Amino acid sequence: MLKIEMNYGKAVLNLPRACVPYLSEATADEMRVLLALGAENESTVESLSHMTGLSEERVANALTLWKKAGVLETEGEWQMTAPEKDTSRPSYTGEDMARIAETSDIKELVDVCAAILGKTFTPTESESLFYLHDGLRLEFEYIVNLCKHCYDIGKPSLRYIEKVGIDLYDRGITTVGALGAYIANEEKKNDMEYRIRNLYGIGERALTPKEQEYLSIWTVDWNLPYEMIELGYNQMLAAIDKPKFSYENGILKKWVEAGCRTKEDAEAYLNKNKETKGKPKAKTENKQIGFDLDEFFAAATMRGEESSEN
C-alpha cells in the first residue's frame, strides 16, 4: 500500500480544519485562494491577486466561500467590497474547463444539454454551462431542467439560458424544487396568456407592461381559474363597449376581496347582489340619489388605472 507523507521542509502551510468539508465543492479559484491564505495567514485582496494570478474580482468571489465556511474573517484589511452574491462571469480557459471536467460531472451535463437542445456546443456555449454549474453551483438536475424549459418556450440559446439562470440565482431560486415551482407558474401564466389574448382579441401584439402586470396578478397572485376571468370579462362588456384590463381588474378584485375563488363563487356573489337590489328600500326622511355601487366601483377603478395602462 502506497503511503503518502508531507515533506514540510523549513516552512509549513497551515489551514483551518473547517475548510475540509468544502474541499469537494471548491472551485479551482477558491482552492488557489485558500492555499495562498494558508501561506500568508494575513493578506489583502490585492496581494492574493498577485500570489494567485487571479483578478481581484475573482479573488473576492473566491473568498466568499471561505468566509461562509468560517475559515476567515473580514475585519480591517480583510474587508471585501465585493457583494457575496456576485454573478459577474469569470472567463474559463480551455485548460480550466479541462481540469474542471476531470473532477466533476460537467462533461455529462454538456452532453445531456446538447441532446436536449439538439446541437453541438461551441467552446463559448459550453462556458455558459460551466459557469452555471461551477461558478453559481447550480445542481446538475437544475441546469438540465432549465435547459428543457427554455427549449420548450422556443429559446434554446445558451446565452439566454445563462441569463435566466443568473436572474433566478439573484432571486434566490437556486434549488431543483424552487425551479420546478417557477417553471410551473411560468407554464400556467403562458397558457393563461394565450387564452386571455384570444378572449380580448389581442392577436400577436406584445402585451403592455401594465397588461402583463394584470395577467400576473390574476394568474399568479390571485390564482384565478380562466372561467372566472371569462365571467369577469362578460360582466365588463355588459357595462362598457371596449374591453379594458383595468376595468376587469376592478371587477375581479371586488370578487376576490369578497372571498370568491371560482366561477361558481362569483356567480353566487352576483346573484346575491341581484336579490339585494330587488328588495324595496326602507323610506328615509332625506331623499338620496341612487346609483349602482358595483358599476360605480368598477368605473372608478378603471379611471384610476386607465392612464397608467395606456
- Please tell me whether residues 214 and 156 are part of one structural domain: no
> Alpha helix locations (H) across 21-122?
28-40, 45-52, 56-68, 94-103, 106-117
Which of 174, 194, 226 lies at the terminal end of a domain, its last residue? 174
Q: What is the DSSP string of 209-278?
A: HHHHHHHHIIIIIS---HHHHHHHHHHHHTT-SS--HHHHHHHHHHHHHTT--SHHHHHHHHHHHHHHHH
Q: Note whether residue 260 is domain-resident.
A: yes
- 56 shares its domain with 103: no
User: What's residue 289's pLDDT?
Assistant: 46
Is the pLDDT at 41 greater than 70, yes or no? no
One domain for residues 216 and 154? no
Coil, helix or strand for 188? helix
Asked if residue 165 lies in contact with residue 132, where contact means CB atoms within 8 angstroms, the answer is yes
Same domain, 288 and 227: yes
The verdict on 245 and 290 lying in the same domain is yes
Local confidence band at 277 (pLDDT 50, 70, 90 cut-offs): low
Residue-range definition of the domain harbouring residue 25: 17-78
- The pLDDT tens digits of the residues spanning 291-306 come to 455 555 555 555 555 5
pLDDT: is 71 or 240 the higher one? 240
Average pLDDT over residues 201-217: 88
Tens digit of each residue's pLDDT (9 = 90 or more) over 148-167: 999 988 889 999 999 999 99
Q: Kindly give, in sequence order, each residue whose CB lies less than 8 Å from that of residue 264, ignoring residues fewer than 6 positions away.
A: none
CATH code, domain carrying 74: 1.10.10
Condensed to tens digits (0 to 9), the pLDDT of residues 95-116 reads 877 887 777 788 899 999 999 9
Number of structural domains found in the chain = 3
Q: Could you tell me if 217 and 284 lie in one domain?
A: yes
What is the four-CA torsion angle of 276, 277, 282, 285, rounded to 10 degrees? 140
- What's this model's pTM, rounded to 2 decimal places? 0.46
The reply to whether 217 and 139 lie within a common domain is: no
Mark whether 217 and 304 lie in a shared domain: yes
The answer on 246 and 298 residing in a single domain is: yes
| Domain stop point among 78, 102, 126 | 78
Q: Does 210 share its domain with 303?
A: yes
In a domain, 123, yes or no: yes
Residues 215 and 242 in one domain: yes
Tell me if 197 is assigned to some domain. Answer: no
Is residue 7 situated within a structural domain? no
**Is 192 domain-assigned?**
no
Dump pLDDT digits (tens) for 121-148: 998 888 899 899 888 889 999 999 999 9
Tell whether 196 is covered by a domain.
Answer: no
Same domain for 107 and 57: no
